[in-house]
Amino acid sequence: MKKEPNLMLLIPYPSENISTVKKDDGLIRIKITRKGLLFKILKFIFYNVPENITLDLDEVGSAVWELCDGKNTVYDISIKISDKFGQKVEPLYPRLVKYLKILKENNLIKFKDNGGNNMSKLDNLIDSWKDEIVEETRNLIKIRSVEEKAKDDRPFGDGPYEALQYALKLSDKFGFTTKNHENYAGHAEWGQGHDIVGILVHLDVVPEGTGWTYPPYEAKVVDGKIYGRGSSDDKGPTVAAMYALRAVKEAGIPLQKRVRIIFGTNEESGWGCMKHYFDEKKEEVPVMGLSPDANFPIINREKGILIFNIEKKFESRSEKVNIKYMKGGQRPNMVPDYCEAGIEVKNELRDEIRQRFNNFIKDKDVHLELSDSIDGFIIKSHGVSAHGSTPEKGKNAIVPLAEFLGSLAAGENDVTAFLNFIARYIGKEVHGDSLGIHLIDEPSGDLIFNLGMIEMDEEKGKLVINIRYPVTFKGEDVVKKLESNLVQIDKDLYLSDVSDNPPLYVPADSPLVKKLQKVYKEVTGEEPELISIGGGTYARAIPNAVAFGALFPGKPELAHEKDEYIEIDDLIKCAKIYAHAIAALAGE
C-alpha cells in the first residue's frame, strides 16, 4: 500500500485558472475562470453560464491564501497563521487542514512536494555541524560541574550553575524558547501544540577521582574520542540532543507537539533539580519522553533505587588500637576508589603493626599504603571506581581497609564488630547475599548492592549504601527484610535517611517504545532490543518515558570511571537518532 504523504510537508499553490485581487479592505477576492471541454458543453446548452466566478475570503482565509504561494509548506503556513491570529484560530491544525482540503477538492489549489527527503535533511545538517558539535561538547566538559555547597543563587554550587548557563545560552543562540528555574533546572523548547515531548538530560557530573590518562576537564581529543568527566554521562548526549532539535527546526520538520529539553543539575546526587522543576514550580509534565543517559537500543525497565545509611554507635572500643577516623567514597552511586584511616597506637606496638600490615597485603589483591603519623599511622586504600549500578566492574577501597583494621582492633568491642560486619556481610558481594536481600525477577534480574561511602570517628560509624532492586518489588520490601536481618546480625545496627526512587517499567507494546524501536532500526540498521538496567535516569521523573542511548551496544561503559570518553562518530550518530526520534514523536 502506498503511504500517503504528510500534508504538513506539502507546498500549496494556486491552480492555473485562478487569479486574485486584493480589495480595498485588504481581503482577497478569488476569480475562477472556467475552461475546458465541460465548460464549453455547458456554455453551448446553457448559453448564460458565466465564464468567471468570484469568491470573497474572510480575514483568516485571505491570510492563508496569500501564504499559498508555492514557497510555504502547510507547516510554515500554520506557524505564520498562529503567530498572526493566536487563539482566534485554535484549534489551528484541524481547521487549517480542512480548509486546504476544501480548496483542493474545488480545484482552487494544488500541492507539490517540498523537494527533498526530510530525514536526509536532518542527517545532512548534523553532518555539516560535526565540528560545532564536538567543540560545544568540549566546552561543556571543561566546566567542572560537580555538586558543591549552595551559595547565593547557586543551589548546587558554581559548577552546575555555570553548566546550566552555558546550555541555556547555546539554546538561545539556536532560537529555542528558554526558561531558568532559580538555577535548579531549566529548559529549551521548540514547536507548538498542547502536548510536550520531553528530553531529560543532566549537566552535573560525579567527582573525577584519580588515575586519569588525560586531565578530566581538558576535553582532549585523542584517536577520535573526546576524553573528560561527563563526556558520555551526560554532556555529550546533551549536546547531541540540542543539535538534534536544532536540525528539526532548521529542516522545517512540522511538529504537532512541543519538544522540551529539560536540563537538570543535580541528577548524580539527589534529583533536587527535578523536584524543584516539577513539584515546586509545577512545570507541565511531558506526555512522553526520553533520557539520553544510559544505553541503546531502548531501556524500558530501570530498577528501583534505595539510598540509606547503616549506622552503629560505639559504646566500647579496642584498648590496643584506637581508630580515630575512617573516611572513604564520594557518592553513594560510585564504587569508592579511595579510603583513608588514622589510627592511634602505643610506640611499643608500631613494629608489630607494620609486620601485620605487611603480612596482610602480601598475598591479597589490594593496594594499601601505611605511613607514620605523630601518634600512630595513616593507612590509605586505593580501589577502582565504577558506577554504582555495576559495582562488579570496580574495586571497593573501603572493604580491604575495614578488613585490616578489624584484625587490629581485636577483642569484643563495638568498633571491631562494626568493621567485621563490613568485611563479613558486605565484602566483595554485589547482590547482598550475606545480608539476605538478594532479590531476583524475570524482567530485570538481580538486586545490586553497592557500599558507596563510609564515615567513622571515635563515636560512631556510618555506611552509605546504594541498592538497585528489581522492578517487580517495592523499596519497602527490601528495607523490611534488611532491618529484620540486621537485628539478627547486630542489634545495635540501624538504618537511617532512607530514600526510595521507585522502578520504571514501560510496556514493550507502548506507542513510545514502538516508535523509538522503528527510529533506531531505520538509522542504525540494528535490531532495537529492549533492555533492563540497574542505573537510574531522569526517564523515571515523568510517567511515560524511557532511557534511549547514548552508549551503543558493545562499547565500554565508562560512566563514573577514570578515562571516560565518547567517540565522536557515536556522538554524531546519537544526534541523528535523536533528530529522527523528535520527528517521530512530536511530528505525528
Catalytic residues: 204, 267
The one-letter amino acid at 454: I
Cα dihedral sign, 196-201-203-207? positive
Pairing of strands 185-190, 177-181: antiparallel
Determine the Cα–Cα distance for residues 198 and 187; give it in Å rounded to an integer. Answer: 10
CA dist 82 and 80 (Å) reads 5
Residues in the chain: 588
Place of cell 514502538: 514
* C-alpha distance from residue 145 to each of 152, 206, 233 (Å): 17, 8, 12
- φ, ψ of residue 425 in degrees (nearest 5): -100, -10
Q: Pairing state of beta strands 550-551 and 294-295?
A: parallel
N-term to C-term CA, the chain: 19
DSSP 148: -
SS (H, E, C) 152-176: CCECCCHHHHHHHHHHHHHHHHCCC
- Using an 8 Å Cβ cutoff, are 236 and 226 in contact? yes
DSSP characters over 557-580: --TTSTT-EEEHHHHHHHHHHHHH
The rounded distance, in Å, linking the Cα atoms of 329 and 384 is 11
What is the β-pairing status of strands 530-533 and 298-302? Answer: parallel
- As a whole number of angstroms, the distance between CA 345 and CA 126 comes to 64
Angle of helix 59-67 versus helix 74-85 axis, rounded to 10: 140
